[in-house]
Amino acid sequence: MIRPISHPPRNSAEEDTAQTRGKVLIVDADGEARSSLHSLLQDEGHLVETFAWAGALLDAALPEAPCCIVADVRMPNIDGLELIERLKGRGDPIPVIFVTDDADVPLSVRAIKAGAVDFLPRPFDEQDLLGAVDHALEIDSRRRSVARGNAAVAQRFATLTPRERQVMAGVVRGLMNKQIAWELEISEITVKLHRSSLMRKMELRSVPDLVRASQVLPGAQPAALA
C-alpha cells in the first residue's frame, strides 16, 4: 500500500504567496503520482488541489482566481480529452496540461488540437512541467482579465437609454452626427447630447474605443446595438 506524502500546513504569508502564483488542480487516478505532483508544485509556491478522477473536479467549485489543470490524459470513465470538452462546454476553458505514462503521437496530436497547453510523457523533466504550469497560469490570468473587461463593458452598455444605443449604433457604423440625426429623425444637437452622454456612461474617450467596446457586446454587429 502506498502511503500518501504528508504536506505541512502553510502559514498565512505562504498562502498569500501561493495565491499570487495561481492554483493548480491535479487529476490523476494514481495516488502516488498525485502526491508527487502535489509536492513538486507546492514546493514551487503554488496552491494545489488534487482529485482522483475527472468527475470529482467537474463536481467541485472551481477557483475564481487564475488556475490550471494537470491531468493524466488516460483516466477511467472521463478521460482527459472529454474533460477538456466538458469544461469548454460549460464555459470554463481552464488551461490543461496532460501527463501520461502511455504516450503516442496520435494521442498527443489529438490532445493539442483539443486545446491542451502541453503534453508531457512520463518520465518528464520537472522544469518542463513547471514551465508549462507557469505558461498555463499566465494564459488563464489573461483570459480572466479580458472576461472582466468585457463584463464591465456590458454593464456600462446596460445603463444606456434606448436612444443612446441607437446613436451608438450609428457612431459605430461610421455615420456623422447629421446622418444619425436624419436616420433617427431628431436634431443634430440632440444627437450630440446623446453621444456625449453615452461616451461618458461607457467611460470612453474616442470613437475607436467605442468601436472596440461594441465588438465585445452580445450581437456585436452595429445594427444589433440599435
- Read off the pLDDT band of 7 (50, 70, 90): very low
* Residue 4, domain member (yes or no): no
- Read off the pLDDT band of 223 (50, 70, 90): low
**213 plus 118 within the same structural domain:** no
- Tell me what pLDDT residue 5 has: 37
- Read off the pLDDT band of 106 (50, 70, 90): confident
- Read off the pLDDT band of 76 (50, 70, 90): confident
> For the residues 165-189, what does the mean pLDDT come to?
97
**126 plus 208 within the same structural domain:** no
Number of helices (H), then strands (E), belonging to the chain: the values are 11, 5
Cell numbers for 61, please give them.
467549485
Closest CA to 83 of 55, 48, 62: 55
The pTM assigned to this predicted structure is: 0.77
The domain total for the chain is 2
> For the residues 141-145, what does the mean pLDDT come to?
95
**Residue 138 β-bridge partners:** none
Q: Is the peptide bond before 9 cis (omega within 30 degrees of 0)?
A: no
> Which has more pLDDT, 22 or 184?
184
- Tell me what pLDDT residue 105 has: 83
Residues 6+ apart with CB under 8 A from 40: 126, 129, 130
Cell numbers for 111, please give them.
490532445
Angle between helices 126-157 and 188-202 (to 10 degrees): 150
For position 213, which CATH number holds? 1.10.10.10
Domain span holding position 204: 159-225
* Residue 176, domain member (yes or no): yes
At 40-54, the pLDDT tens digits run 999 999 999 999 999
* Residue 73, domain member (yes or no): yes
Q: Could you say which of 148, 181, 215 is where a domain stops?
A: 148
- Tell me what pLDDT residue 88 has: 94
